[in-house]
Amino acid sequence: MSKIGIIGDLHFRETLPYSEYVEDGRVAEEKEVLDFIVKTLEDCDEIVILGDVFDKKNNPSKVITKVVSFIKRFDGKKVYIISGNHESTADGKSALDFLRKINNPNWNIVTNKIEVIGDMTFLPYMTKPELEVDDDTAGTKKIMKELKKNKMLFLHHAISDSMARSISTNIFNEVVLPKTGLEKKFDLVVGGHIHTPQVLTGGKTIIAGSVFNVEANEKKKIILKIDKKTLKATDYDLPGISIHRLENPSASDFKKIDKNDIVRVVINDPKMKGNLAPVKKELERIEMNTILEQYPKTRKKTHAKGDLLNLSVKDLLKIYAKERKVDEKKLFSALELI
């Protein structure tokens, strides 16, 4: 029985976010997740990696080595790798381009155009300049026109009627492809890009999600196996540390949190000011935690436990943006460029 293994957004980087919370910098966790993926997909003949293999367009040798080593672990299998938005530049180049120079006959690198290989169609992330269009609507129309009917589509673009955590992709400021239109052309659609795994209404469109927990309150990470004959998809829960953000929590909020999880507590209720003893008591059993006091019209105070003495750069930028009334998205974009 021929099977396809599906791996969502990996976002390889030097260290995982929140690594400062963990004594080994989340190194053991990363290895555990990657080992689980390789072991679980042993019985698959083909592997599809749905884009954003890298977290950045320009990567240090350490990260490049990590990516190549991981792909090589699927030796003997056909591997299809789609370029994602984190890898793509406006001129059609990709951080994945160097993989072609390795000349592995089993590797298919899809970066700047739609490719059809047998009954599988692959659509990498394509920017508006690359599509030679001025707006998102025109980009959507052009891609839909170029897509021809086939059995399966694997892509790294937002699909309508899906959810990025609590936000509908229907309001995204980017090229969004229509679910209904895709399902008229393909028997099965499998997407990356959106980090929340989900099966859309009707069951013909699946969002694989991302691989690692990198944001607070991400609930579920999976990989998939697809039976090529029946197109039935089976998902497998990935291991990994959970990250929690609790705002003005009560004792009951801590009950489902494992002692090995990462917990960020935000206190912004003035009634709790000076009365953090109950919260600190609940956190005693949790090794990796911080408390951020963020009361209205007051300076913020941070309490850290374990190896974390400061907030992450992203959290600091959020605080800075709020206090200085700066667009936090522009700050994040600047950080990404750096």
Architecture category of domain 3-237 in CATH: 4-Layer Sandwich (3.60)
* Tokens 């009634």 belong to residue: 271
Distance of CA 304 to the CA centre of its chain: 27
Query: Is residue 243's pLDDT more than 70?
Result: yes
Are residues 238 and 37 in contact, defined by beta-carbon separation less than 8 angstroms? yes
- What span, in angstroms and rounded, lies between the C-alpha atoms of 72 and 85? 23
Question: Which band of pLDDT confidence, cut at 50, 70 and 90, is reported for residue 307?
Answer: very low
Average pLDDT, the chain: 91
Query: Is residue 153's pLDDT more than 60?
Result: yes
Ramachandran area for residue 317 (φ above 0: left; ψ -120 to 50: alpha; else beta): alpha
Size of the chain, expressed as the number of residues it contains: 338
Determine the average pLDDT of the residues in 236-246: 95
Query: Is residue 125's pLDDT more than 70?
Result: yes
Q: What is the predicted pLDDT for the residue at 310?
A: 47
Handedness of CA 252, 256, 259, 261 (dihedral sign): negative
Strands 222-227 and 233-237: antiparallel
Residue type, 165: R
How is residue 228 annotated by DSSP?
T
Query: Is residue 194's pLDDT more than 80?
Result: yes
Are residues 96 and 83 in contact, defined by beta-carbon separation less than 8 angstroms? yes
For residue 22 the two structure tokens come to 């963990």
Neighbour-count burial for 133-160, b at 16+ CB within 10 Å, e otherwise: beebeebbebbeeebeebebbbbbbbbb
Q: What is the predicted pLDDT for the residue at 199?
A: 97
Query: Using one digit for the tens of pLDDT, what is the confidence trace for 168-192?
Result: 999 999 999 999 999 999 999 999 9
Query: Using one digit for the tens of pLDDT, what is the confidence trace for 50-105?
Result: 999 999 999 999 999 999 999 999 999 999 999 999 999 888 899 999 999 999 99
Determine the average pLDDT of the residues in 314-331: 71
- What span, in angstroms and rounded, lies between the C-alpha atoms of 91 and 76? 33
**Helix and strand totals (H; E) in the chain:** 8, 20
Name which of 323, 322, 321 is nearest 331 in CA terms: 321
Question: Which band of pLDDT confidence, cut at 50, 70 and 90, is reported for residue 309?
Answer: very low
Are residues 261 and 244 in contact, defined by beta-carbon separation less than 8 angstroms? yes
Q: What is the predicted pLDDT for the residue at 308?
A: 41
Question: Which band of pLDDT confidence, cut at 50, 70 and 90, is reported for residue 332?
Answer: low
Strands 107-110 and 46-49: unpaired
Are residues 197 and 219 in contact, defined by beta-carbon separation less than 8 angstroms? no
- What are the structural domain ranges in the chain? 3-237, 243-337
* Tokens 């099977």 belong to residue: 3
Q: What is the predicted pLDDT for the residue at 338?
A: 46
Query: Using one digit for the tens of pLDDT, what is the confidence trace for 196-213?
Result: 999 999 999 999 999 999
The phi, psi pair for 153, rounded to 5°, reads: -120, 130
